[in-house]
Structure 1
Amino acid sequence: MRNILKSLKKYVFRRREKNQVFHRCEKRHTYSRFQSNHPNHLSIDKLTTINRITQEVDPLVISTTTTQIVDSLNDYSDFYLACRDNDSKKVRQLLRTMTLDDVDRLEPNGSTALHVACYYGHSRIVKLLLKEGADRAILNKYQCLPYDEALNDNIKEIFLRIPNSNRLVSDTGAIEWTLIDDDDVMEKAKEERHIIKSLYDNTTGTTPIDKMFEKIEKNYINKGLTNINGIEKIRRYFRKATIEQNIIWLIKAYTAETDFYRILNNEIAAGASQYQSERRYIIALISHDLRLEQFTFIGTTNRVIRINNDDLKKYEVGCSLMTKSFVSSSIDRKIAEVLSCQQESVQSEAEVMKRTKIDGALIKSWIMCTYTIKHRRTGLHIENSSQYANEGEILIMPYSVFEVKEIRKVQLSFFQDNQFMTEIHLEECDQYL
């Protein structure tokens, strides 16, 4: 299985180099990391003589990072230079007194410390910066993320989530969607979507968008989630969202590896009453904010879940499902495969036995869900704003309704003992809109 996983990872690592988003910036700037005039490639004495280049303003840059470029061409930080020179001792020393805003600062050459550490392949520095909480989703002047500038696959692997902690692979479908077997549930989807849209439009005149940001931060984040894992990171994101009125910080918060996205989705799915308004504000902003319109996605996306086989029998061609929470998926099927393969590999190495019934039948099975999204803003392609760009994430909105079009068995290369995976094809419905 290790060889199969290695092959799948290699595909994932190459994907962003080949896709259209990456080549868009490459064509615009005729960029290659091997060119002698790349800013990260120049010696320190030449760094101070780089001329600023007037560039076309790209909306993706504006929306993905609000970090300011320092004004003086001579003002390269000691921290940046230490990261460039692989001076881990000095980096640790400086980190003690630095804020995350300092860590994420764009230098005069348009790169961050994380960019340059990745560019030169300084793995210890990259690990230090990521552990400290450096922003993975800052685009440099070439519109490349730190992950894109990694010297080799060893550096890219540092950016992967640990196998047992992944939004794109779920161990239960119960939280994600509910079967729709009557008109009442379809009406529930319409009702919830109407509530969310009315909140965003501020039809009551009580909560404009700026107040939404404030209430989410003040009530839900600072009161409701005080003890969750990673709360300091989440507080920082929402503080910036409130100050800058910038929805992108909510995307960063959702994609960060903390307990925030798990708790948010669990509470949305359960219909928890406490802080329900604040959670609806989050849904409203992500679903309708015009600044995310550029990320709207129409097409096919993939997600792997593992559910109880008895529950699986309930799903038939022609039945419909409603998402009960945000659902993270991938634009590339092989990414979903590699993530499930990782979990299989971890369980295999830990010698975790698959749970079976008394008759030997497996209790849970993997399912590949393929979603066909047909309507604007049902799904957002948030890859370049995600803290894990390698996942190619498509974020599906709550209260979206899909019909099961096909159910079939497929055998993936990493499954053992002729085990098959169920593949469910779902297509977005029209009548709930």
Structure 2
Amino acid sequence: MEETSNEKQLASQFYFACRNNDFDLAIHLLNQHQLEDIDRMEPNGSTALHAACYYKRIDIVKILLDRGFTRRVVNKFDKTPIDEANTEELRQLFLRPKTSNRFGGNISYEREKSIWIPVDGNENVIIQDPITDLYKGNRLNYGIFQADNIIKQLNGMPKLDVIQRFFRRAVQEKDLTRLIQAYTAETDFYNHVNNYLLSRQPENSLSQFVQIIYFNDQLHRKFSYEGTCYRSIIIDSEDQLSLFKKGAKVFNRTFISATRDRQIAEEYILDRSCENKYTVMMIFKIRHCYTAINIEDISEFSHEEEILIMCDKIFKIEKITKRNNFYIEVELRDSKSNQRR
């Protein structure tokens, strides 16, 4: 990643502050400028985060990642910042905080109960307040995705400019994978999306975001996932397992983040104090298109191997296995009726 003398002249002051480990100047410039103005590809074909990683500027890397700098951008050598992070200490900085509950973890029973709704009767008519969209997920192509309304609604959310940047790029490039990246970014945005899905308030601007992800045929054809994925949760008592009964059917009111890597789901439990609590490993067997998409190659955290399960998908609980007194596996299989949209 060595630059020539001409390339050095082209890079910004902020880039060299990060490259040369000038922490005070980097902080000063970080506070002076908008995120988009400094988290950018420099004329030399690199970014400040790439440079900080390559030169092992650990404290600089920490503040850039915390600020929300893009992780997936590739430099002129076709490398992402984590590719340039050639020590384990640096690579660890790219992991989500251990407090994250994105793949389950320490989520309250009340929250989990609000997500999973029992299905009684005809699968085709059971879902209340189903997602609808006259534009079939094509708002970006039609130029009618009202990103500014969503940003205004989220006013006050920390790191809102991170989401605003992804939205702006989505609109400019007509690329809905930028919206997926916004969902996977380490902000509270994904919680706002799922809180909307629990309430389904029609005036909520986030309905547009959900409609694009849920209905866009091109997205589902390209990234549709079939296979097994995992999510782990903690419950306080075995009685709370009544949420899942063998042979029963349930549907999820929200998007569900799962992972192809069982070890990642396990770590969400191991990283938390689980004394006298029960671990539930949810094992999803996905067989049908439109149930879930594989966003590993889109996500800001590609190593998580995330599978994003769409909302309002019906699952049958095939098996419940008690591995020991405090570890239970629940196997769920998606319903064929999920193909009917």
| TM norm structure 2 | 0.85
Q: 2:47 aligned with 1:112, yes or no?
A: yes
- Contact 1:115-1:145 within 8 A present in 2 as well: yes
Return the index of the structure with the highest Cα Rg.
1
**Structure 1 residues 138-287: aligned runs within 5 Å:** 138-170=73-105, 171-172=107-108, 173-183=112-122, 186-189=124-127, 192=130, 195-196=132-133, 198-200=134-136, 209-214=141-146, 217-222=147-152, 224-275=153-204, 278-287=205-214
Identity among equivalent pairs (%) = 33
The aligned amino acid for 1:219 is: N
Alpha-carbon shift at residue 328 of structure 1 (Å): 0.7
| Aligned counterparts of 1:273 and 1:304: Cα–Cα separation in 2 | 31
Contact map agreement 1:189 1:400 (CA 8 A) in 2? no
Asked whether 1:388 is paired with 2:320, we answer: no
Please report how far the alpha carbon of residue 242 of structure 1 lies from its aligned counterpart in structure 2 after TM superposition. Answer: 3.2
Aligned residue for 1:213, secondary structure, equals coil
Aligned residues: 333
Offset from partner CA, 1:301-334 (integer Å, 9 cap, x none): 1111224532312422221221111111111000
Distance 2:323 2:206 in 1: 38
> 1:102, 1:314 → 2: CA distance?
48
What's the offset of the Cα at 1:210? 3.6
Q: Does 1:327 align with 2:256?
A: yes
Q: Give the counterpart letter for 2:222 in structure 1.
A: Q
The residue aligned with 2:333 is: 427
Taking structure 1 as reference, are residues 272 and 409 closer, same or farther at Cα in structure 2, changes over 3 Å only? Answer: same
Correspondence for 2:23: 88
Unaligned runs of 5+ in 1: 1-39, 49-72, 348-353, 355-361, 412-418
Counterpart residue identity of residue 116, structure 2: W
1:178-206 deviation digits (Å, cap 9, x = unpaired): 221322x642349826x24x44168xxxx
Summarize the Cα distance change of 1:384–1:148 in structure 2 as closer, same or farther, 3 Å threshold.
farther
TM-score (norm 1): 0.69
Cα–Cα, structure 1 residues 103 and 292, in superposed 2: closer, same or farther, change >3 Å? Answer: farther
Q: Is the 8 A contact 1:189 1:401 kept in 2?
A: no
* Cα displacement (A) at 1:269: 1.8
Contact 1:200–1:209 (8 Å) recurs in 2:
no
RMSD: 2.8
C-alpha distance in 2, partners of 1:266/1:313?
A: 23
Deviation at 1:44, TM superposition (A): 4.4
| Distance in 2 (alpha carbons) for counterparts of 1:211 and 1:161 | 33
Deviation of 1:292 (Å): 6.3
